[in-house]
C-alpha cells in the first residue's frame, strides 16, 4: 500500500501502485536490481536488509518519474506485528530533486570560483554544513603550510589552525553570518606548525535550500601577512623612531599599490570571463559528456533553446561528418587529463552545418581527478567555406591548364612528326631550308618540354 502523497510524488495514483512490484510500477531495472558499475545497490538489496531487521536511511535515492530521474531522501524500517515478528517494511520518502539540483549548481559554482581564485593567487574553500565536510583548494593548503593529502578536513580542524586568541571570534563571526544570512568577512591570524603566524582575510557566502536550511558555504582566504606586517612595521617605526610624515606616507602608498594591484587582478579576471563568454562558444559537461551549462553563443550557433541543450550530450549537434575513431581519440585525450584541440563540423537544429575550432579541457578537483569537462569553441565556418572556395578555384584552374596544354601539344606533335618524316624519308632540301627545319625542330622540342612540364605540374596539383 502507499499513501496519496507518495503516489503523487512519483506521478501515479494509489490505484496504479497497489499490488504492483517495483518493475510493474515502472521503475528502471537497474534501480530495482542494482548496478555495481554505477554503485547502485538496488531496491531489492535494501528491502532484504530491512526485512532482516535493519533500519536503512538513504540520503539520496534515484527513481525514474515520468521518464526522468528524480531523487528522494528515504528511510526504510521493518514493519512488525504485536509479537514483534517482521511482516513487511515501511518506507518514508521525500522528494529532494530540487534540493539536489541546488547542491549540484553550488558545486559547479565552487569549482569555477576555485579556478578563478587560483589565477588570482587566492585560496578557495567550501563547507558542507550537512555533512561537516570541508574542502580546500591547493592554495589554502599552501597558506596553512600543511600536506595536500592524508588530511581529514572538518570545521573543527580548521578552527584548530586558527590562532587561539582569534578562535572564538572567528567561530562566532561565521555562525552569526550563517544565522543572519549575511556575508562572512573577517581578518584573523593562523598559527602554523612551527609557531609562525600568518594573517588572512577570510570571506564566504552561505547557500540555503528551499526550506531556508543552510547547506553549503563557499569562500576565499587570502594571505595578507605581507600587508599586515607592513602595517605593523609602520606603527612600530612610527613609535620607535618617530618616523617622518613622508616615510609614513611612503608605507601607506605601498599598501595602496598592493591593494590596487589586487583589485586590478580581480577586474582583469572578470574582464577575461566576460570576453570569453561573449566571444566563444562555451559548455561545461559532466564526465559522461552530459551538458550541465552552456552560454548564449552555443544557443545562437546551434539554433537550440537553452532548455533543449541542458541535460543532453553533444550528439545533439553531431553532423555525422567525423569518424568514430576521431571521437574515440578525442575522448581518450581528455579522459587522460590532457587538452584536445581540433576542428569539428556540427549540425544546427535547422539542419544547417557549421564549423568550430574546439578546445576541450578536463576540469580537475583538488586531488587532480577529472570530474567535468570545459569546452571552448570558436566559429570558423566562414574560414572553412573560404578554404573550400579556394580549393575549388584551384582545381578548376588546374583542370584548365591541363586541358589547354594538351590542346597546344597536338599541333606541336604534328610539326615534330613532319620533321621526323622528312629525316626518315631522306627528302632532299636545300642547306638553308635544312637550317630552318633544325631551328623549328629545336623550338618545337623546347615548347613540348615546357608543355610537358605544365602537364606534370597540373597532374601533381590535381592529385594533392
pLDDT digits 0-9 by tens, 130-155: 999 999 988 899 899 988 767 788 99
Instruction: Indicate the length of the chain as a whole number.
Output: 464
Question: 284 and 271, same structural domain?
Answer: no
pLDDT score of 113 more than 60: yes
Question: 242 and 127, same structural domain?
Answer: yes
Q: Helices H, strands E: what count in the chain?
A: 15, 13
Give, rounded to a whole angstrom, the gap between the first and last alpha carbons of the chain: 74
Could you write out the DSSP letters of every residue in 261-282? HHHHHHHHHHHHHHHHHHHSEE
Question: 392 and 368, same structural domain?
Answer: no
Please tell me which of 43-52, 213-222, 247-256 the model is most confident about, judged by mean pLDDT: 213-222
* Class of residue 83 by CB neighbours under 10 A (exposed 0-12, middle 13-18, buried 19+): exposed
Where in the sequence is the domain holding 458, given as residue range(s)? 385-463
C-alpha cell at 284: 561545461
Distance CA 218, CA 183 (A): 11
Question: 148 and 68, same structural domain?
Answer: no
Q: Which of 359, 379, 399 is the last residue of a domain?
A: 379
Question: 135 and 88, same structural domain?
Answer: no
Q: Which of 231-245, 376-390, 435-449 has the lowest mean pLDDT?
A: 435-449
Considering only residues 349 and 367, tell me which one the structure prediction assigns the higher pLDDT: 349
Question: 215 and 88, same structural domain?
Answer: no
Residue 46: the pLDDT is: 83
Residue 396: the pLDDT is: 65
| Structure confidence by residue, pLDDT tens digits, 63-101 | 766 667 778 788 888 888 888 888 888 888 788 888 888
C-alpha cell at 464: 594533392
Considering only residues 369 and 28, tell me which one the structure prediction assigns the higher pLDDT: 369
Question: 88 and 25, same structural domain?
Answer: yes
Considering only residues 157 and 456, tell me which one the structure prediction assigns the higher pLDDT: 157
Instruction: Look at the alpha carbons of 100, 101, 104, 106 in this order and tell me if their dihedral is positive or negative.
Output: negative
pLDDT score of 461 more than 60: no
Cross-strand partners of 285: 291, 373
pLDDT band at 271 (very low <50, low <70, confident <90, very high): confident
Cross-strand partners of 202: 186, 221
| For helices 245-279 and 97-119, angle between their N-to-C axes, nearest 10 degrees | 130
Strands (E) in 229-339, as ranges, are 281-286, 291-294
pLDDT score of 431 more than 70: no
pLDDT above 70: percentage of residues in the chain: 79
Contact 364, 370 (CB under 8 A): yes
Secondary structure (3-state) at 300? helix
| Structure confidence by residue, pLDDT tens digits, 220-256 | 999 999 888 888 888 787 777 666 667 777 878 888 8
Question: 245 and 286, same structural domain?
Answer: no
Residue 71: the pLDDT is: 80
Residue 424: the pLDDT is: 63
Residue 318: the pLDDT is: 95
Residue 284: the pLDDT is: 92
Mean per-residue pLDDT, 36-57? 83
Query: The domain spanning residue 220 has which CATH number?
Result: 3.30.450.20
C-alpha cell at 255: 599598501
| Structure confidence by residue, pLDDT tens digits, 390-399 | 777 766 666 6
Question: 431 and 298, same structural domain?
Answer: no
Question: 148 and 258, same structural domain?
Answer: yes
Distance CA 97, CA 62 (A): 9
Alpha helices in 84-224 (DSSP H): 97-119, 138-144, 155-161, 164-180
Question: 322 and 453, same structural domain?
Answer: no
Residue 107: the pLDDT is: 79
pLDDT score of 2 more than 70: yes
Beta carbons within 10 angstroms of residue 177's beta carbon = 20
| Structure confidence by residue, pLDDT tens digits, 396-430 | 666 666 665 666 556 666 666 666 666 665 555 56
pLDDT score of 350 more than 80: yes
Number of structural domains found in the chain: 4
pLDDT score of 40 more than 90: no
Q: Which of 229, 254, 277 is the last residue of a domain?
A: 277
Secondary structure (3-state) at 390? helix
Residue 455: the pLDDT is: 63
pLDDT score of 352 more than 90: yes
Distance CA 12, CA 21 (A): 14
Q: Which of 157-161, 305-309, 401-405, 445-449 has the lowest mean pLDDT?
A: 401-405
pLDDT band at 291 (very low <50, low <70, confident <90, very high): very high
Beta carbons within 10 angstroms of residue 133's beta carbon = 14
- The label of the residue with cell 600568518 reads 198
Residue 265: the pLDDT is: 83
Question: 192 and 161, same structural domain?
Answer: yes
Strands (E) in 35-145, as ranges, are 56-65, 68-80, 86-95, 123-128, 133-136
82: left (phi over 0), alpha (psi -120 to 50) or beta: alpha
Q: Which of 330, 349, 379 is the last residue of a domain?
A: 379
Residue 299: the pLDDT is: 93
Mean per-residue pLDDT, 29-38? 80
Contact 255, 231 (CB under 8 A): yes
Amino acid at each position: 500500500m502507499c499513501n496519496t502523497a507518495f503516489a503523487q510524488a512519483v506521478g501515479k495514483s494509489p490505484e496504479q501502485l497497489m499490488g504492483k512490484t517495483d518493475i510493474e510500477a515502472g521503475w528502471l531495472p537497474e534501480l530495482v536490481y542494482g548496478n555495481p558499475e554505477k554503485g547502485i545497490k538496488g531496491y531489492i538489496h535494501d528491502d532484504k536488509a530491512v526485512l532482516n531487521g535493519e533500519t536503512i536511511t538513504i540520503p539520496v535515492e534515484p527513481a525514474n518519474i515520468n521518464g526522468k530521474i528524480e531523487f528522494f531522501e528515504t528511510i526504510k524500517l521493518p514493519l512488525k506485528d504485536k509479537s514483534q515478528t517482521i511482516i513487511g517494511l515501511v518506507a518514508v520518502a521525500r522528494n529532494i530533486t530540487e534540493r539536489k539540483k541546488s547542491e549540484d549548481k553550488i558545486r559547479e559554482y565552487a569549482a569555477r570560483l576555485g579556478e578563478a581564485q587560483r589565477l588570482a593567487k587566492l585560496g578557495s574553500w567550501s563547507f558542507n554544513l550537512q555533512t561537516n565536510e570541508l574542502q580546500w583548494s591547493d592554495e589554502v593548503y599552501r597558506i596553512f603550510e600543511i600536506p595536500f593529502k592524508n588530511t581529514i578536513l572538518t570545521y573543527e580542524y580548521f578552527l584548530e589552525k586558527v590562532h587561539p586568541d582569534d578562535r572564538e571570534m572567528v567561530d562566532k563571526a561565521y555562525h552569526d553570518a550563517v544565522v543572519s544570512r549575511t556575508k562572512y568577512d573577517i581578518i584573523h591570524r593562523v598559527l602554523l606548525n612551527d609557531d609562525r603566524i600568518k594573517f588572512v582575510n577570510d570571506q564566504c557566502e552561505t547557500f540555503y535550500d528551499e526550506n531556508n536550511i543552510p547547506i553549503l558555504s563557499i569562500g576565499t582566504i587570502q594571505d595578507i601577512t605581507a600587508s599586515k606586517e607592513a602595517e605593523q612595521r609602520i606603527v612600530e617605526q612610527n613609535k620607535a623612531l618617530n618616523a617622518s610624515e613622508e616615510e609614513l606616507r611612503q608605507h601607506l602608498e605601498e599598501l595602496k599599490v598592493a591593494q590596487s594591484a589586487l583589485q586590478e587582478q580581480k577586474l582583469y579576471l572578470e574582464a577575461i570571463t566576460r570576453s570569453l563568454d561573449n566571444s566563444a562558444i562555451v559548455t561545461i559537461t559532466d564526465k559522461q559528456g552530459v551538458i550541465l551549462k552552456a552560454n548564449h553563443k552555443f544557443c545562437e550557433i546551434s539554433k537550440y533553446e537553452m532548455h533543449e541543450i541542458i541535460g543532453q550530450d553533444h550528439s545533439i549537434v553531431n553532423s555525422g561528418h567525423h569518424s568514430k575513431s576521431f571521437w574515440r581519440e578525442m575522448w581518450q585525450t581528455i579522459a587522460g587529463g590532457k587538452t584536445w584541440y581540433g576542428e569539428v563540423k556540427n549540425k544546427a537544429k535547422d539542419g544547417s552545418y557549421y564549423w568550430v575550432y574546439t578546445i576541450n579541457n578536463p576540469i580537475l578537483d583538488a586531488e587532480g581527478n577529472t570530474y567535468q569537462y570545459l569546452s571552448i569553441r570558436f566559429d570558423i565556418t566562414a574560414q572553412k567555406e573560404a578554404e573550400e572556395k579556394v580549393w575549388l578555384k584551384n582545381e578548376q584552374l588546374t583542370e584548365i591548364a591541363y586541358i589547354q596544354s594538351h590542346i597546344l601539344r597536338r599541333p606541336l606533335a604534328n610539326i615534330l612528326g613532319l620533321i621526323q618524316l622528312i629525316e626518315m624519308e631522306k627528302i632532299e632540301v636545300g642547306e638553308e631550308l635544312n637550317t630552318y627545319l633544325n631551328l623549328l625542330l629545336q623550338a618545337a622540342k623546347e615548347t613540348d618540354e615546357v608543355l610537358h612540364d605544365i602537364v606534370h605540374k597540373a597532374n601533381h596539383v590535381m592529385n594533392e
